[in-house]
Every structure is written in structure tokens, then in C-alpha cells.
Amino acid sequence: MTPATRIYLIRHGQVAGNDQPRYNGQADVGLTDIGLEQYHVLKERLAGNPISACYTSDLSRCAIGAKILCGRFGIEPVPRTELRELNIGVWEGLTWQEIAQRWPTEWQARLSDLVNYRVPQGENLLDVEARVMPVIAEIVERHKWQEILVVGHGGVNRIVLLNAIGAPLAGMFNIEQNYGCLNIIDYYSDGRAAVKLLNG
């Protein structure tokens, strides 16, 4: 079988304010008790795997969970600012309903062009792809044939998964990423990638 580097790609646990659809972006929102428990459940799920390194967004909802997970494997998480969620600019912390009411034209513009539209003072999907994917490539190169944890966000994870299957960024919301979910991606020596588990 062709050797592969395996990435266990995790979305952070449940966060405060989860009861309403909202854009947290790079705001450092806290985990709920359920969110913390989701990490402990993941830690047990992953216990039998030979995980040798962990990379995480430096936002606390990821970094705290990465610390929990790494305690099982005797490793230290490496924080990377490049793995932060999409910067949603002036919309950070607002619910979808609030945005639609206060910025109706801009809201529709983003819905119409998810890939290219940039929220004022924020990023678009191309910006996020340009900062996230080089880090994933670096991790795969540095840890050839190893099994690695990457703790990220819903938007970031979707971009990594779309890249792995060769799908366009416009398909962002064709992939679900529940709080505390696990994805598994194998990166092969011939340059191929295969998603082994999605939103598990």
C-alpha cells in the first residue's frame, strides 16, 4: 500500500452562543461544558492511535481542546495563527439575523458570491485558503507517514476537506462540520489525498 500521512482533523467543541446561527470568526469565544466534554470523548476515541504531533488554531476554543487531547499522547500542541477561523470583519459575534437586518445588501452579496465576497475588515474564502493550505502542506511534509492531530474550525476544516477531494470552494456548505467532529484525511506520497472519515 502507498505510504500515507494521516491527519485527524477536528472541529472545536461547542461554544457559548451556539443556540443561534452566528459568525464568531476570530472572536475568542469560550467553550461550553458540552464542548469540553466533546474533547474528552474524542480523546478516548483516538486513544489507540499512534499520534505523534498536534497543531491547533491559537483561539482558545481550539487550543484548550488540543491540550486535553494531547494529554493522552504525551505531546504538546503547536499553536498556529494561520489555522484561525475566517475573519468575518465587522460581522464578528453577530447572528445571521442581525447581519441580514443591519447589512441586507452586503448579506445578499456574500450569499451570492461566497468565495470572493470580502466582509468589510474581513477575509474571503480565497484569503483563508491561502493561509491555511500552506500550513497543511508543511505539516504533511514535516511528518511523513505519521499520524497527526489538527484542531481547527468549521470554515477552516471545510476548506481543507474540499481541497483534499478536489472540490471548489463554492461547495463550502455542502460539507457539514458539527461541534467536536472528527475527519480523517490520508495524504499519499504521490500527491493524492483521500478523505477516510467526514464529520464523524
Written as nine digits, the cell of 67 is 491540550
For residue 4, the SS3 value is: strand
- Amino acid 13 reads G
pTM beyond 0.75: the answer is: yes
Residue range 8-30, pLDDT digits in tens: 999 999 999 998 888 899 999 99
CATH of 4-197, one of 3.40.50.1240, 3.40.50.11400, 2.170.190.11, 3.90.1640.10: 3.40.50.1240
Bridge partners of residue 184, in order along the sequence = 8, 197
The residues spanned by each domain of the chain are 4-197
Written as nine digits, the cell of 116 is 470572493
Bridge partners of residue 188, in order along the sequence = 4
Please give the Cα distance from 159 to 168 (Å, whole number).
Answer: 9
Q: Tell me if 195 sits within 8 A of 185, measured CB to CB.
A: yes
CB atoms within 10 A of CB 31: 22
Compute the mean pLDDT over every residue in the chain, rounded to the nearest whole number: 96
CB atoms within 10 A of CB 118: 17
For residue 185, the SS3 value is: strand
For residue 3, the SS3 value is: coil
Q: Tell me if 30 sits within 8 A of 90, measured CB to CB.
A: no
Give me the pLDDT at residue 1, please.
Answer: 57
Residue range 133-191, pLDDT digits in tens: 999 999 999 999 999 999 999 999 999 999 999 999 999 999 999 999 999 999 999 99
**Residue (of 14, 13, 8) closest to 55 by Cα position:** 8
